[in-house]
Structure 1
Amino acid sequence: MKRRTMTAALCAALLLTAVTTGAAVASGPHEERPSREAAALTGTAELYRSAGDDITFSFDAHLAAVDNDDPLKATGTFEFSHYLNGEGARAKAEVDCLLTGGDVAVVSGVITDSDLPGAEGRRVGVTVHDLGRHDRLGYSWAATGSPAEGAELPRCVSSAPFEKVRKGTGDFEVVPWQPRL
């Protein structure tokens, strides 16, 4: 009899704990929960080149939930560099557009800082395909030439993600955009 009483008391205590914990979680204030971003692209990776080029891309681009209907209100920065045998350049751009769909993101921005002559003030675009450990990347200047040359690029324009990320370096994360259609 004592054993049945103990088991019943234990079951009652576990049930009471589960109910009160569930009620506390369910009744928490909704305004304290952070709202999901409308879209985002974050992370850093090095590209693979058989010649040994040192190429790095880093992203911190976001579209706030309140701006869900306007990808041109995206904010943040992205940086890239390309060096081979001690020669090359780096650049930092201010995001001016971010579009994402599924695990693909296209971001564009205006270069604000660079050691490539003529690059500052020019718009560039980059495409990322977030494939876990096998991310891919493409960039507008693959088709248009150096970021310091050519015609003005429209916002959110880039190339297909044709480059492979060096094994073990990719940590891109894409938050897919969910526009109200």
Structure 2
Amino acid sequence: MSRRMFIAVLPPAQVIEHLADQIEHVGPPAGRPRMTTPGSWHITCAFLGEVDDDRADRLADALPDHAAGIEPFPLRLAGIGAFPDLATPRHWWVGVDDPTGRLATLFRACRQACRESGIAVGRAAQLAHLTVARGKPAPDPEWAAAWQGYLGPEWTVDGLDLMVSVLSGTGAHYSSIARFPLGR
């Protein structure tokens, strides 16, 4: 059997609440976006796609050692952006302020654990972000401007989660199947 999986950093409740308040204050972007829900908010460290049970078990065995090698670090959500760009958005996202650079180190450690487990993941650096809208948003300079200067509360990243994504008619539903503390 296989499952659709990814590795993520899950922001704590106060960060989620702050972001939800910002979205409520600013409102949705123009167009027909599908807004993501607070229960789905995460920062993807590595997207794995379909993973069979054997490789998932090997990954769950490898991740603790990789996580232990990275000390907890401060992080905060900051600003707004879009993929592929602000002029032609397909996804709106909130950026990440990583003053120590350890999130990039965590991304690399996750990719290495995946490779050791026989799971193919890209080697390219990825842009740390949290997706807030998908689908058919329209370019919305006023909406983007309302986010300039957004700075969420700082928190300490102290672990990462191995997540399962189940697709349904109402979108993807995520659940953590294992949590791995950092620095232990």
Q: Name the TM-score class by shorter chain.
A: under 0.3
Higher Cα Rg, which structure: 1
Give the alignment's TM-score, normalised by structure 2.
0.24
Higher relative contact order (CA 8 A, sep 6+): 2
More helix as a share of residues: 2
